[in-house]
Amino acid sequence: MGKMDGRVALITGGASGLGLEDARVLAAEGAKVVITDVQDDLGEQAAAEISGVTYFNHDVRDEARWEEVIAETLDQFGRLDTLVNNAGLVRFANVEELDYDDFRLQTEVMLNGTFLGCKAAIPHMSRDGSGSIINLASVAGLKGISAIPAYTAAKAGIIGMTRSIAVHCREQKYRIRCNAIAPGGIVTPMTAQALAEMPEGDAGLDQVNNHGMGQPIDVANMVLYLACDDGRHITGTTITIDNGETMA
């Protein structure tokens, strides 16, 4: 039997990168997986290629669409056990150069989108008696990175919000766990683009040289651990997957 047999997972930003690898791993362990994204071609391709995966178009900034996605998931599968708030993007510019529209876009997708997902999912998870929420943060939320202030702010906010949600669920006796994962550099299309945009001498390039790049499976394995019964006694924490970067 798979570790996720009989369970249903919803993964935002699931058409590529970390979210896509999460979908592969959870589906391989028996879960029915709904991936959502705004990259329709990639999302539909993933659903066609991975058994047990369904794709919905979904802008995580849209509160009404969150309600629809949860309702569609429940209509199709009857339950929701795991939510992975993974959708994200990054724009490079320091605080003096960053355009306010880019700042808002990044924080709305990652911080606001994570909030809306938790808010929409918790009533249905609590109705079913248990659940696991996994929020994708970053080492950027644990240390200062001058080139990505909006991304850093969003990821730090996700870490704090994760703790608050975990405490709320415990106080309400919902049996819903809420944790964050903070990866360092991982080989994904987003990070490939980011590295290509970095100027020579940027601190982010030092990170890659000193700590190397992880693979999406390194994060997906932790998503599986937190989603299944193996992680049943873990809530309110942030787990770093960074090859020691935050120790420096």
Tokens of 177: 């766990």
Please answer whether residues 150 and 102 qualify as being in contact, where contact means their C-beta atoms are separated by less than 8 angstroms.
Answer: yes
Q: What is the pLDDT of residue 211?
A: 55
Residue type for 94, please? Answer: N
Q: Is the pTM of this model over 0.85?
A: yes
How far, CA to CA in Å, does 25 sit from each of 95, 115, 222, 225?
37, 25, 10, 11
| Per-residue pLDDT tens over the stretch 86-128 | 999 999 899 999 999 999 999 999 999 999 999 999 999 977 7
The answer to whether 151 is a known catalytic residue is yes
What distance in Å separates the CA atoms of residue 176 and residue 81, rounded to the nearest whole number? Answer: 9
| Mean pLDDT for the stretch of residues 8-36 | 98
Fold of domain 8-241: Rossmann fold (3.40.50)
The residues pairing with 207 across neighbouring beta strands, listed in sequence order, are none
pLDDT band at 40; cut points 50, 70, 90: very high
**Among residues 55, 151, 174, 225, which one is catalytic?**
151
| Per-residue pLDDT tens over the stretch 223-239 | 999 999 999 999 999 99
Count of Cβ atoms closer than 10 Å to residue 52 Cβ: 18
Domain boundary assignment for the chain? 8-241
pLDDT band at 207; cut points 50, 70, 90: low
Residue type for 141, please? Answer: G
Query: Taking CA 134 as the corner, what is the angle to CA 19 and CA 180, rounded to the nearest 5 degrees?
Result: 110
Count of Cβ atoms closer than 10 Å to residue 77 Cβ: 18
Q: Would you say residue 7 has pLDDT above 60?
A: yes
Tokens of 217: 């499976």
In three state form, how does the secondary structure of the chain look? Answer: CCCCCCCEEEEECCCCHHHHHHHHHHHHCCCEEEEEECCHHHHHHHHHHCCCEEEEECCCCCHHHHHHHHHHHHHHHCCCCEEEECCCCCCCCCCCCCCHHHHHHHHHHHHHHHHHHHHHHHHHHHHHCCEEEEEECCHHHCCCCCCCHHHHHHHHHHHHHHHHHHHHHHHCCCCEEEEEEEECCECCHHHHHHHHHCCCCCHHHHHHHHHCCECHHHHHHHHHHHHCHHHCCCCCCEEEECCCHHHC
Nearest Cα residue to 148 out of 102, 115, 111:
102
pLDDT band at 195; cut points 50, 70, 90: low
| Per-residue pLDDT tens over the stretch 136-191 | 999 999 998 898 999 999 999 999 999 999 999 999 999 999 999 999 988 877 66
Please answer whether residues 158 and 135 qualify as being in contact, where contact means their C-beta atoms are separated by less than 8 angstroms.
Answer: yes
